[in-house]
Structure 1
Amino acid sequence: MRTTALLLLALAAVTSAVTYHGYKVVSVTPRTTAEAQVLQKAVQLLQLQQWTHPHRLGVPVDVLVPPSLVYVFLSGLQAKHIPVQVKITDVQALIEEQVATRTPSTSLPRAFDHTQYHTLDEIYSILDGVEADYNSLVSSYTAATTYEGRPIRVLKVSSEESDTKPVIWIDCGIHAREWISSAVCQYILDQLTSGYGSNSDVTALLDTYDFHIMPVTNPDGYEFTWSDDRLWRKNRFPSGGALNCHGIDPNRNFDSDFGGPGTSDQPCSDIYHGTAAFSEKESQAVRDSVQALGSRVKIFFTLHAYSQLWMTPYGYTYDLPDNYDEQYRVSKVGVDALIAVHGTEFIYGNIADVIYMAAGGSTDWAYDAAGIQYAFALELRDQGSYGFLLPPEQIVPTGEETLAGIVAAINAV
């Protein structure tokens, strides 16, 4: 009886907030520049939200379409003979289905559970439990406190007390709605902690490197995706504007061509860059933590979703970094190892060419300002069948392939 009541409360929390009943995710594949322009004009005119962006012809672009605009959007594209496909027929139904599969609990978990997505309180409770269970291996620190007062936590996994080994940095969940990102960070933490001493590969890895892992870089936004809007992207800082908007995109807030291409100065935009570089606690948390580690940081990974991409600098320019050939070589090794696990196809290359131009990102900052010679941004599963709503049964396979790719890249360096 109690389990049923908890499940109903969870469903009520979702349905009482922003809802997406009848919303569809439509995949459009422009084949010519003219078709791409038609799509862009339609998106702008109808004020639609793009889940992915056109980066080259022949690649599908996913667009979220409300029920009132489905007919006009689809009929307009079909009249121009532009290929379209409905990938998700009812976004809210998919959201509610995922909530319904959660196993309610009367207490916060203290151990990893990769069968479902977790609330922020659950994640932090799990991190507490891991730190207690593996106290000789794991310690934690607070990188910053958010606008709404939540800690941005980092777990350090190290086989030694001394801070002398090179460091692998991994952050997840800088965009709130990308739940699979934070789930994969938890999976990686689980494999590192449970595998040390029992798995020779993990043991060798931790005897060589320390790991600093930030599982939820944007806790205010992540909490908001559970309480109010499952598809929220930004943080929750009151950004103002005529509509009293909230939120700044933390991954447009770094000092890497701040305010450049792929950003917006409109507070209501999903890619609003904020008033100044590092104005936000989330970008400050990454910056301050990485800078405190100094030259020990050898590889920087930031995990996003979705599109199945492994990317290197730069995002703010089509120019390539001086060591691009080396970063490209390591990317290939990582992607080959990732694909070998489950056959999940990934594309690799520099951000601007592989996905789109985007200034103010953490990967470019890590390479340019922090001097980290290997800086990678990964877009995890999938390619739009579920998009930001990847089912929980894909957490483990996504974690397996991502970790395999990361370990191979580390070894290649």
Structure 2
Amino acid sequence: MRFSLLIFAGLLAIATAKSYDGYQVLTVVPKTEAEVAMVRKSATHLELDQWTDPKAVGAPIDFLVAPEKFTSFKKFLNHKRINFSVKMVDVQKVIDEQAAQHATSKSSRAFDHTAYHDLQEIYNILDGVGSDFPSLISHYTAGTTYEGRDIRVTAVSSGGGGSRDAIWIDCGIHAREWVSPATCQWILDQLTSGYGSDAAITTMMDTYDFHIMTVTNPDGYAYTWNSDRLWRKNRVPYQGCHGTDDNRNFDSNFGGPGTSNNPCSDTYHGPSAFSEAETQAVRDAVLALGSRARMFITIHSYSQYWMTPYGYDYVLPANYDEQYRVAGIAVSALTAVHGTQFVYGNIADVIYLASGGSSDWAYDSAGIQYAYALELRDTGNWGFLLPPEQIVPTGEETWAGIMAAINAMQ
């Protein structure tokens, strides 16, 4: 393992100011379009946090339900005879257990992939503090967010003077999706430790430069560690509420379907396209690569999807058949590692209409012909609270899929 940052003594639990005591995660399975519409209407009325919204009728929809709303929602579902089950009985208990696990192990372990890491731990590694990252890794600041937190792109190259084709990978644009930054850390580790010792990685790094944004939404991610574990957006204040959904803030049918103009909504698109420092940082770093950028991958969780543009329209991109072919090869390689099943296809058909997304922008505006949005493990048993013991297998299978996709490009 190439990471060897020694964590300073002292315990740091995940102190969540917002309590989720008694909150439950319910999985609802509507059997008809009418039932889907009724469930969504009820969830909107009760102001439930909808964690997933799959396209297919009969697919499960996950909701985070506060204790004071559970009785009303359950009564509605029973009255309409809509099937549901409780996936998580007490959300706060799961959060507390993971916080205790982190606190217990933090003082005695080196930086590795068996636990989630807070923002400072991640940045220490990117800065090379106490680490044995090879000298081939360097980082630069692509922009600055609020609260003084910088957004970093780590450039990994074995040479070539910046003339090689480039692969873009970003993680953590949604704050609560912790397995996403953990996966970017895994990828960085594989690239740096595998060069010169793993033939496939060595060949890949002698062919491509990698540009990796490990934590795309650092102020939001930090907030999930110290205030609200299930926060999604960034932390910029707008009209009495906080946060823009950065993945609705790109100039790709900005403000269209799947977004909200309500600053209190989890899908608030922001006041204008690229109003946010995070999206500006992605835009500027990607455009700086110019024609060198061959593949764009943005990594989310959860639901196990490998998706192509478009999210803002049901119309398929001109090269959809080629993107779909490569996605199929990637998913086959991913599944071969641990048997994890992924669905692949365009965003609008696989999940829902979502405008202002980064992968649509990467294809339309940056001209990157292979643009993908990934949703990692799982399918709802843990959701955004994926246990840390699943970090390594998630990293292993995701990296296998990405390598296969890169090698399949024409």
| TM-score normalised by L of structure 1 | 0.94
Deviation string for 1:115-137 (max 9, x for gaps)? 10000000101122289634531
Q: 1:343 aligns with which of 339, 346, 355?
A: 339
Q: Name the stretch that deviates more: 277-286 or 127-136.
A: 127-136
Q: 2:302 aligns with which of 300, 306, 328?
A: 306
- For 1:300 and 1:131, how far apart are their aligned partners in 2? 31
- For 1:24 and 1:345, how far apart are their aligned partners in 2? 26
Which letter does structure 1 place at the counterpart of 2:179? I
Deviation at 1:79, TM superposition (A): 1.8
What percentage of residue pairs aligned between the two structures are identical? 65
Query: 2:268 aligned with 1:265, yes or no?
Result: no
Equivalent position SS for 1:58: coil
Which letter does structure 1 place at the counterpart of 2:115? Q
Q: Name the stretch that deviates more: 282-291 or 111-120.
A: 111-120
Q: Does the C-alpha gap of structure 1 residues 136 and 10 become closer, same or farther in structure 2, counting only changes over 3 Å?
A: closer
The corresponding residue for 2:55 is 55
Deviation string for 1:344-403 (max 9, x for gaps)? 000000000001100000000000000000000000000000000000000000000000
- For 1:192 and 1:216, how far apart are their aligned partners in 2? 18
The corresponding residue for 1:162 is 161
Contact 1:112/1:186 (8 A) holds in 2: no
Deviation at 1:54, TM superposition (A): 3.8
The corresponding residue for 1:216 is 215
Contact 1:253/1:273 (8 A) holds in 2: yes
Q: 2:292 aligns with which of 293, 296, 305?
A: 296
Equivalent position SS for 1:101: helix
- For 1:132 and 1:106, how far apart are their aligned partners in 2? 16
1:396-407 equivalent positions in 2, closer than 5 A? 396-407=392-403
Deviation string for 1:236-260 (max 9, x for gaps)? 10111xxx10000111000000000
Q: 2:281 aligns with which of 253, 262, 285?
A: 285
Deviation at 1:45, TM superposition (A): 1.2
Contact 1:24/1:66 (8 A) holds in 2: yes
- For 1:129 and 1:331, how far apart are their aligned partners in 2? 34
Which letter does structure 2 place at the counterpart of 1:89? V
Query: 2:181 aligned with 1:182, yes or no?
Result: yes
The corresponding residue for 1:84 is 84
Which letter does structure 1 place at the counterpart of 2:225? W
Equivalent position SS for 2:13: helix
Q: Does the C-alpha gap of structure 1 residues 282 and 172 become closer, same or farther in structure 2, counting only changes over 3 Å?
A: same
Gaps of 5+ in 2: 1-6
The corresponding residue for 2:227 is 228
Deviation at 1:56, TM superposition (A): 1.8
Runs in 1 of length 4+ with deviation above 3 angstroms?
103-107, 130-136
Equivalent position SS for 1:303: strand
- For 2:160 and 2:340, how far apart are their aligned partners in 1? 38
Q: 1:316 aligns with which of 306, 312, 317?
A: 312
- For 1:327 and 1:162, how far apart are their aligned partners in 2? 29
Gaps of 5+ in 1: none
Contact 1:259/1:359 (8 A) holds in 2: yes
The corresponding residue for 2:13 is 10
Contact 2:306/2:372 (8 A) holds in 1: yes
Equivalent position SS for 1:360: coil
| TM-score normalised by L of structure 2 | 0.95
Task: Give the CA RMSD over aligned residues.
Answer: 1.6
The corresponding residue for 1:382 is 378
- For 1:173 and 1:198, how far apart are their aligned partners in 2? 29
1:198-209 equivalent positions in 2, closer than 5 A? 198-209=197-208
Contact 2:54/2:350 (8 A) holds in 1: no
The corresponding residue for 2:4 is none
Q: Give the length in aligned residue pairs.
A: 401
- For 1:202 and 1:37, how far apart are their aligned partners in 2? 47
